[in-house]
Chains A and B, each alone.
Chain A
Amino acid sequence: MIKLDRRNFIKGAGAGGATCALATMLPGSLAALEKEPLKAVGKEVASICEMCSTRCPISARVVDGKNVFITGNKEAKSFGGKVCARGGAGHSLLYDPQRIVNPLKRVGERGEGKWAEISWDEAYKMMATNLNRIKREHGPEAVAFSSKKGSLSGHFFHLAKAFGSPNTFTHGSLCPGAYVIAAKSMFGTKLKRDLGNSEYIINFGHNIYEGINMSETRGMMKAQSERGAKLVVFEPRFSVVADKADEWHAVRPGTDVAVALALCHVLITDKLYDQAFVERYVVGFEAFAAEVKAYTPEWAEGITDVKAKDIRRIAHELAAAAPHAVVDFGHRATFTTEEFDMRRAIFAANVLIGNIERKGGLYLGKKAKTYNKFAGETVAPKLAKPGVEGMPKPTAKRIDQMDKQYTMVWKNGGVYQSILAATLEAKPYQLRGWVMSRTNPMQTMTDRAKVLAALKKMEFVAVCDVYISETAAYADLILPESTYLERDEEIADKSGKNPAYYVRQRVVETIGNTKPSWQIFKEVGDALGLSKFYPWANMETLQLAQMNRDDKALRHIKEKGYVSYGKPLMLREPSMVAKFTDTYANARTPDDDGTYASALKFKTPSGKIELSSAAVEAFAPGRGVIRYRDAPLKRADELYFIQGKVAVHTNGATHNVPILANLMADNAVWIHPLTAGRLGISHGDAIRLTSSVGSETSYAMVTPGIRQDTVFAYMGFGSKNKELIRASGKGLHCGNLLPDSTAPVVGMNLHTTGVKVEKV
């Protein structure tokens, strides 16, 4: 470990308080340390990326003690040993002089940018004093805990639980939540898509050629280039995925649900649907069929601008390719307030073509327990969950559970933005403290002004991050986490059609005074007097407990980094079942048709796919059956404002990473030539966008690759805190234009709104 040498700190940091106004060098940043060669842990280390939330398996090698060459881990076949630009830039984050490597406390006003370095002991004391005071005076529920979902949110939420607060949140309601909740309401579980084996793919703006998810990106490219699959894209903007498609339909923003319903209408009306499948596996078909009767392609054309004859033709093509075809349920699910029915309508189209557990369709993940049961032997070890006994049960209700319609949301990360009303209006009760880990709501939650007001109103805010993010800038205390290249973590489940595990391992020795967040939150627990809930000593003991103390199996996973067990299995695919039964002598006997179709059960109240749901009707009256509802997203005199992902950045997280910031530092606004012409705007002109909540300036990119009634910008730019020196003030801040709005049932934040555009 590099020693912290006080003499190496810049003069401006001062000896006593180590405070300074923000200049070129931040106190507590890596720049304040003397640069020393990276110390590699091994020659080539298999690990897990963290430059976005896909968390691809990687392999990393230190080059000349200066940087790290990162590529994909070849053990993970569907990832192909590949890595994207963000993944390849991990060392740029590791060695960014602006990364925070020492705990910091605020010494000026909140957000003023005055920081002092403190010891971990002092940081923990601050946590204990503040959190325990709020708990004593107002109850533990007055503190909200929010975190990026993933490897370490478990440790973070364990702290929340031990502390006694029910108010835990992930990024879910700001991005992917709706499709997960839609899937759970219909299938009782999440579903995965088998893009690589598909022959016909319908895609509603799921831009996996820019928002790269390595195995899916590769899967779709494989389907397109090797299988000749047809790709049909509905998206208001000409994205890279639209470019690679056979057909691009510039659908009106937020109206995708009408296209999906019209596809279902044609599948049912023209009797193209898989009647045997529906008969066997589906309840609620009649109610759904009665509802979609009115949703003709002609009706949809009026709403979506997609031609009726195209919708009809596409439905027929989809059915012809079934069951090796898929309607992609997307990722970012914040297009409309009708997200619940949009994602359900997409799933319904998949159900109608009977692609569940078929190649090229949708399938249920096969973890060790399920897989071993089918195989009749232990093919994959089961991961043990080292539980802690006697965890306190929170007495208070979650702030997002007063409204029954959000019943399904809390298990999926909660309605994150409900923190705003709870803090600003005490609805349903007052929040007073906010602890965050690797989450940046100032960028990713809508209505920046409200988020800012909420942060300022809090009595105590603590943020664990690698940078002084736009959110961390308003904290009282910053807990610096080690980068993923410096951390060891638990074994993670990566099962797909067969079980698989992988593990994050440190590649270089820790630089500076950072810690992995599992350790930070264990030590915070100690400081809060909650030690009894942390019976493990370190990560090694946790990993061993996961593997039921099987040291050999653990070493195997660590050596390979990624281990897959058995052969891919889809229950209704005869060829796969045949290979499976050939491999495992004691495997379950197939049905007469050579499949495991009779074993396909769903964790819904009926045990079947619930195309219409009585359970949903009970907690959200009127919502049991999938239905179209108008969702006004802008005023007549406004343009739609939509956003999307770019391949070189991760929303709200990577914009200060040097290599990535150099590749793309700001976000131009895409505007159609005719729209630009009417507004007197030329390519490159500075323009202002004004919405109901905010105003932002950027510059125009005049392009035919966008609808005339729509403007687009890539998300995550325009940070307003001065600590992110490379990102600050560059480009347009999307969250500052989007109003605070929450979709029914799924609790999603809304990312489509109306704006007025003018030249400045």
Chain B
Amino acid sequence: MSKRYVMVHDENKCIGCQACNVACRSENGTPEGVTRLQVRVEGPFGQAPNLHFKYHRVSCQQCEDAPCVKVCPTGAAYVGEDGIVTIKEDKCVGCMYCVAACPYKVRFVNPETKATDKCNFCKDTRLARGELPACVTVCPTNALTFGDANEPDSEVAKLLNTKPSYQDKIHLGTKPRIYRIPTKRGGIES
């Protein structure tokens, strides 16, 4: 069976500390002013004292039906054999169609390479070395889990089978592969 790499972000365990953001920059050499990944701490929502924050991971959703790939005129934005949506820098002409087409607003033009850029699960760096993505590696509270959802014994498969989760903007038919375990207000749901 082909691989289906997914990432699960447990918003109960996430503390919004940005360790993921910084590790991503270090591993991928992301230049100043742009970012592949951040966690926005939004809120608080609700009525005091029953308030809650939302810990919102903002990064490429690795859509199975990716608008960026569809609109790319040169094939720079493509889906690899591993299913990961990524970018061939030398094919990118900087037309920014993909930046406009991305409903999650997570693509940008890298000011150094002048090609578009975004999270690719550390495909060329850490995955190539058999390591987990940088963000998963450093996450202080183990809020991130990464793996092949087609592998029934994988941690991600187990998580998705046992916990309620949601994906962003599924009504668009993009089939995002970032899953989120929603916050249960009042303590950490295990």
Q: Is the CB of A88 within 8 A of B138?
A: yes
Q: Name A210's contact: one of B17, B29, B43 (CB within 8 Å).
A: B17
Encode contact with A along B1-40: 1 for CB under 8 Å, 0 otherwise: 0000000000011011111011101110100110000000
Query: Quick check: which of B48-56, B58-66, B67-75, B83-91 contacts chain A, the rest being far away?
Result: B48-56
Q: A245-B187, A704-B48 are in contact. Are A221 and B141 (CB under 8 A)?
A: yes
A530 to B100 Cα, complex, angstroms: 68
Task: Looking at the assembled complex, report how far the CB atom of A651 sits from the nearest CB atom of chain B, in whole angstroms.
Answer: 16
A84: Cβ under 8 A from any B Cβ:
yes
B188: Cβ under 8 A from any A Cβ:
yes
A245 to B72 Cα, complex, angstroms: 46
Q: Name A648's contact: one of B18, B27, B44 (CB within 8 Å).
A: B18
Which residues of the partner chain B approach A249 to less than 8 Å between Cβ atoms? Answer: 49
Which residues of the partner chain B approach A647 to less than 8 Å between Cβ atoms? Answer: 15-19
Q: Is the CB of A71 within 8 A of B186?
A: no
Q: Is the CB of B19 within 8 A of A84?
A: yes
B134: Cβ under 8 A from any A Cβ:
yes
Which residues of the partner chain B approach A224 to less than 8 Å between Cβ atoms? Answer: 187-188, 190
Q: Name B51's contact: one of A230, A246, A704 (CB within 8 Å).
A: A704
Task: Looking at the assembled complex, report how far the CB atom of B47 sits from the nearest CB atom of chain A, in whole angstroms.
Answer: 8
Which residues of the partner chain A approach B188 to less than 8 Å between Cβ atoms? Answer: 221, 224-225, 244
Which residues of the partner chain A approach B32 to less than 8 Å between Cβ atoms? Answer: 658, 662
Q: Is the CB of A63 within 8 A of B190?
A: no
Encode contact with A along B141-155: 1 for CB under 8 Å, 0 otherwise: 110000000000000
Which residues of the partner chain B approach A705 to less than 8 Å between Cβ atoms? Answer: 43-44, 48, 51
Task: Looking at the assembled complex, report how far the CB atom of B2 sits from the nearest CB atom of chain A, in whole angstroms.
Answer: 30
Q: Is the CB of A89 within 8 A of B22?
A: yes
Q: Is the CB of B187 within 8 A of A85?
A: no
Which residues of the partner chain A approach B51 to less than 8 Å between Cβ atoms? Answer: 238, 243, 248, 704-705
A247 to B51 Cα, complex, angstroms: 10
A91: Cβ under 8 A from any B Cβ:
yes
A228 to B142 Cα, complex, angstroms: 16
B94: Cβ under 8 A from any A Cβ:
no
B139: Cβ under 8 A from any A Cβ:
yes
Q: Is the CB of B138 within 8 A of A246?
A: no
Q: Name B17's contact: one of A81, A238, A648 (CB within 8 Å).
A: A648
Which residues of the partner chain A approach B174 to less than 8 Å between Cβ atoms? Answer: none
Tally of A-B Cβ pairs under 8 angstroms: 133
Which residues of the partner chain A approach B138 to less than 8 Å between Cβ atoms? Answer: 71-72, 82-84, 88
Which residues of the partner chain A approach B103 to less than 8 Å between Cβ atoms? Answer: none
A435: Cβ under 8 A from any B Cβ:
no
Which residues of the partner chain B approach A228 to less than 8 Å between Cβ atoms? Answer: 187, 190
A662 to B27 Cα, complex, angstroms: 17
Q: Is the CB of A217 within 8 A of B141?
A: yes
Q: Is the CB of A246 within 8 A of B187?
A: yes
A12 to B52 Cα, complex, angstroms: 53
Q: Name A231's contact: one of B29, B52, B187 (CB within 8 Å).
A: B187
A66: Cβ under 8 A from any B Cβ:
yes
Task: Looking at the assembled complex, report how far the CB atom of B185 sits from the nearest CB atom of chain A, in whole angstroms.
Answer: 9
Q: Is the CB of B29 within 8 A of A225?
A: no
Which residues of the partner chain A approach B19 to less than 8 Å between Cβ atoms? Answer: 82-85, 87-88, 647
Name which residue of chain B comes closest to A88, CB basis. B22
A67 to B31 Cα, complex, angstroms: 12
A238 to B44 Cα, complex, angstroms: 8
A190 to B137 Cα, complex, angstroms: 33
Name which residue of chain B comes closest to A207, CB basis. B15
Task: Looking at the assembled complex, report how far the CB atom of A302 sits from the nearest CB atom of chain B, in whole angstroms.
Answer: 19
Which residues of the partner chain A approach B48 to less than 8 Å between Cβ atoms? Answer: 238, 250, 704-705
Task: Looking at the assembled complex, report how far the CB atom of A87 sits from the nearest CB atom of chain B, in whole angstroms.
Answer: 8
A703 to B44 Cα, complex, angstroms: 7
Which residues of the partner chain B approach A70 to less than 8 Å between Cβ atoms? Answer: 23, 26
A698 to B151 Cα, complex, angstroms: 52
A245 to B32 Cα, complex, angstroms: 35
Name which residue of chain A comes closest to B22, CB basis. A88
A238 to B13 Cα, complex, angstroms: 17
Task: Looking at the assembled complex, report how far the CB atom of B175 sits from the nearest CB atom of chain A, in whole angstroms.
Answer: 28
A226: Cβ under 8 A from any B Cβ:
yes
B interface, how many residues as a size bin? Answer: 35 or more
Tell me the interface secondary structure of chain A in the complex. Answer: mixed
Q: Name B13's contact: one of A91, A221, A247 (CB within 8 Å).
A: A221
A202: Cβ under 8 A from any B Cβ:
no
Q: Is the CB of B141 within 8 A of A85?
A: no
- Which residues B78-129 have CB closer than 8 A to chain A? none
A240: Cβ under 8 A from any B Cβ:
yes
A707 to B134 Cα, complex, angstroms: 38
Task: Looking at the assembled complex, report how far the CB atom of B141 sits from the nearest CB atom of chain A, in whole angstroms.
Answer: 4
A139 to B51 Cα, complex, angstroms: 59
A659: Cβ under 8 A from any B Cβ:
yes
Encode contact with B along A568-606: 1 for CB under 8 Å, 0 otherwise: 000000000000000000000000000000000000000
Which residues of the partner chain A approach B139 to less than 8 Å between Cβ atoms? Answer: 82
A705 to B54 Cα, complex, angstroms: 13
Q: Is the CB of B12 within 8 A of A212?
A: no
Which residues of the partner chain B approach A246 to less than 8 Å between Cβ atoms? Answer: 186-187
Name which residue of chain A comes closest to B134, CB basis. A69
A663: Cβ under 8 A from any B Cβ:
yes
A214: Cβ under 8 A from any B Cβ:
yes
Name which residue of chain A comes closest to B24, CB basis. A88
Q: Is the CB of B142 within 8 A of A85?
A: no
A243 to B137 Cα, complex, angstroms: 24
A82 to B15 Cα, complex, angstroms: 14
- Which residues A50-89 have CB closer than 8 A to chain B? 63-64, 66-72, 80-89
Name which residue of chain A comes closest to B30, CB basis. A659
Q: Is the CB of B27 within 8 A of A210?
A: no
Which residues of the partner chain A approach B134 to less than 8 Å between Cβ atoms? Answer: 69
A340: Cβ under 8 A from any B Cβ:
no
Q: Is the CB of A218 within 8 A of B140?
A: yes
Task: Looking at the assembled complex, report how far the CB atom of A278 sits from the nearest CB atom of chain B, in whole angstroms.
Answer: 31
Most A CB contacts (10 A, CB to CB) among B29, B48, B142 go to: B48
Most B CB contacts (10 A, CB to CB) among A86, A244, A246 go to: A244
Name which residue of chain A comes closest to B27, CB basis. A69
A335: Cβ under 8 A from any B Cβ:
no
Which residues of the partner chain B approach A89 to less than 8 Å between Cβ atoms? Answer: 22, 26
Q: Is the CB of B140 within 8 A of A68?
A: no
Q: Is the CB of B27 within 8 A of A63?
A: yes
Which residues of the partner chain B approach A214 to less than 8 Å between Cβ atoms? Answer: 140
Task: Looking at the assembled complex, report how far the CB atom of A431 sits from the nearest CB atom of chain B, in whole angstroms.
Answer: 40
A703 to B53 Cα, complex, angstroms: 12
A172 to B22 Cα, complex, angstroms: 30
Name which residue of chain B comes closest to A67, CB basis. B26
Encode contact with B along A211-253: 1 for CB under 8 Å, 0 otherwise: 0101001100100111010110000001010011111111000
A209: Cβ under 8 A from any B Cβ:
yes
Q: Is the CB of B140 within 8 A of A663?
A: no
| A-B pairs with beta carbons under 8 Å apart, 8 shown | A82-B139, A83-B140, A218-B140, A224-B188, A225-B12, A243-B53, A244-B187, A246-B187
Q: A80-B142, A89-B22, A660-B22 are in contact. List 18 more A-B contacts (CB 8 A).
A: A63-B27, A67-B29, A81-B137, A82-B19, A83-B138, A83-B140, A84-B17, A85-B17, A85-B19, A86-B22, A89-B26, A209-B141, A212-B17, A238-B44, A244-B187, A663-B22, A704-B44, A704-B47
Closest 10 CB pairs between A and B? Answer: A647-B17, A88-B22, A224-B188, A246-B187, A85-B18, A209-B15, A85-B22, A221-B141, A225-B188, A225-B190
B interface residues, Cβ below 8 angstroms from A: 12-13, 15-19, 21-23, 25-27, 29, 32-33, 41, 43-44, 47-49, 51-53, 134, 137-142, 186-190
A interface residues, Cβ below 8 angstroms from B: 63-64, 66-72, 80-89, 91, 209-210, 212, 214, 217-218, 221, 224-226, 228, 230-231, 238, 240, 243-250, 647-648, 658-660, 662-663, 703-705
